[in-house]
Structure 1
Amino acid sequence: MGREFVELFNRWADNYDKTVQGVEEEYRAVFEGYDAILQEVAHRSSGNVLEFGAGTGNLSSLLLHKADKYMGVEPSEKMRKISEEKLAMALYDGDFLSFSKPSWPIHTIVSTYAFHHLTDKEKAQAAAAYSQLLSEGGKVVFADTIFINDDAKHDMIKKAESVNYLNLAQDLQTEYYTTLPILQTLFETEGFTVDFKKMNSFVWIMEAVKS
């Protein structure tokens, strides 16, 4: 359920905000247009919003200005503390599959740079759970590294290795990055209509609307 990565999140917490602004050359392409990606996810969100993997609160701060109600879920204690200082509000300990459900109806479920911490089997479980949480017209808006197909993923790993971006190459091989067809099928199976928008050479936004 992504919990195997919590220690990584805790170690990364203090430097995360610098990383997403492109200070690390190895990950610069992954976070290219980071602010625009967050703005796009926020723009597609409406009503009562549930955010998974709130991290250090960068998307959360945008959502608080437009959501009717907001709840943020984050498994890393260190990242939650940073978020809570930024936002002056509490986040909840949890993950994509294990979390305290809000007392109010949910209209939009969002996440950025986090859904790849679930295996495809766990992603399917999440899609099924979100289908139950959302009414018709409710939606899931996720921005994450996704590949067109397995060949594109393998090509990106080789490209990273060729320029000695060995940490990036290892991340792409050890975390659970999926493909557009798999993700589309997982959500369509649970009654969603799915669209994708490419944001940079790694990141796509998926908008899945409950039919």
Structure 2
Amino acid sequence: MKYNNILKGKFISRPNRFIANVEVNGIVEVCHVKNTGRCKELLTPNATVFVQEHNSVKRKTKFSLIGVIKENRIINMDSQVTNKVVHEWILKGNLFSDVTLIKPEAKYGNSRFDFYVETETQKAFIEVKGVTLENRGIVKFPDAPTERGVKHIKELCECMTEGYEAYVIFVIQMKDVLHFEPNDDTHKEFAEVLKYAKGYGVNIIAVDCDVEEDSINIRDYVEVII
């Protein structure tokens, strides 16, 4: 996954979860933040960030904030990119060996999952979660309570009763981490429902990423501890 028109900037402030003030080329610009999580450990005063410049006159902001440097590690913050990198990863032959259909934003009952995949012998629903929270090499999800996340996990269990396979893929938007675990300090219910889902047969997967200023690609599997 490649980005165009990437510039380096300095984080100034975040008035709300949708925008940030970033100094770019000596000018403080209002940037769209492509991640509605708290990200307090990432967006610290004077942090080096990466923004994408857009040329569309229809946009309210000229720039989007997509990455940050934390302790010499580049972390991608774009919550919209995780589905794209998973899509690319699956099409390259990962997770399934003989994909005959991959459908993004697939409906199941009254629900909608990130992907529906078919092979010659399998039918599976997949939910993707982006991970940016890291401390001493341990990465966790979520960084804020997520009732939507709880709902998704429960719905994946439901689809298994009709013979579908189910996957949760945690895309760690950085590399060189130790392991992934649910953040029960922030949202205990999510941690509990994830543990239940694992016992129920939902496949819980974590992968890290090679991240550069202008790109992100899935790298390898990361140990999941629940």
TM-score under structure 2 length normalisation: 0.34
Normalized per residue, which structure has more helix?
A: 1
Greater relative contact order (Cα 8 A, min sep 6): structure 1 or 2? 1
Normalized per residue, which structure has more strand?
A: 2
Who wins on radius of gyration, i.e. which is larger?
2
TM-score under structure 1 length normalisation: 0.35
